């Protein structure tokens, strides 16, 4: 059993928390993913190993560095159940996206929800990100829920 298989079968892990309702090319997002930790290698392996089959096989992943613990040097590939998958990032990328490039060359753009997000908020974000009518970026969706409330309790 590989380390990624061990990680995904640990008793403290829950099933993959992902929502993809369809691939809408005119929407900035195709869905959302709520990782269980900020360990890039563990979470990416879990995502690749448990991505629902109807979406295809992940060939490459692009990530936003601020979503993950610093792992200098950043890895260029991760070990998954079927071998290795190339991963990469851009140094200034703060988009809160995980882009999956599938073997079909289709790109899935997933909002990465911070692991410590409350369940109700995370489920709302997942629903909004997967909605083909959504026109907000991942950063905009996260900023909306992170905005402090004014004295009346309404978001500013």
pLDDT digits (tens, 9 = 90+) for 126-150: 999 999 899 999 999 999 887 655 4
Q: 89 near 65, Cβ under 8 Å?
A: yes
Separation CA 13–CA 133 (nearest Å): 32
Range of the domain at 111: 3-133
pLDDT at 41: 94
Separation CA 67–CA 102 (nearest Å): 21
Residue 148 lies in a domain: no
Name the DSSP letter for residue 138.
H
Residue 146 lies in a domain: no
Separation CA 40–CA 47 (nearest Å): 10
Length of the chain: 156
Residue with tokens 């290795």: 84
pLDDT tens readout for residues 7-35 = 445 667 889 999 998 666 688 999 999 99
* DSSP-based three-state secondary structure for 72: coil
Residue with tokens 């195709």: 30
Residue 43 lies in a domain: yes
Instruction: State how many domains the chain has.
Output: 1
């Amino acid at each position: 059993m590989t380390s990624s298989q061990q990680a995904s079968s640990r008793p403290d892990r829950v099933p993959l928390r992902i929502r993809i309702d369809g691939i809408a090319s005119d929407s900035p997002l195709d869905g959302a993913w709520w990782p269980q930790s900020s360990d890039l290698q563990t979470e990416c392996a879990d995502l690749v190993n448990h991505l629902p089959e109807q979406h295809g096989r992940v060939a490459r992943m692009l990530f936003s560095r601020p979503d993950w613990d610093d792992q200098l040097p950043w890895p260029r590939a991760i070990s998954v159940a079927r071998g290795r998958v190339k991963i990469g990032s851009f140094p200034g990328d703060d988009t809160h996206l995980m882009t999956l490039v599938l073997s079909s060359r289709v790109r899935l753009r997933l909002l990465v929800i911070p692991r410590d997000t409350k369940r109700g908020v995370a489920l709302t974000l997942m629903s909004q990100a997967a909605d083909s009518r959504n026109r907000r970026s991942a950063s905009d969706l996260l900023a909306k829920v992170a905005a402090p409330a004014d004295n009346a309790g309404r978001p500013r």
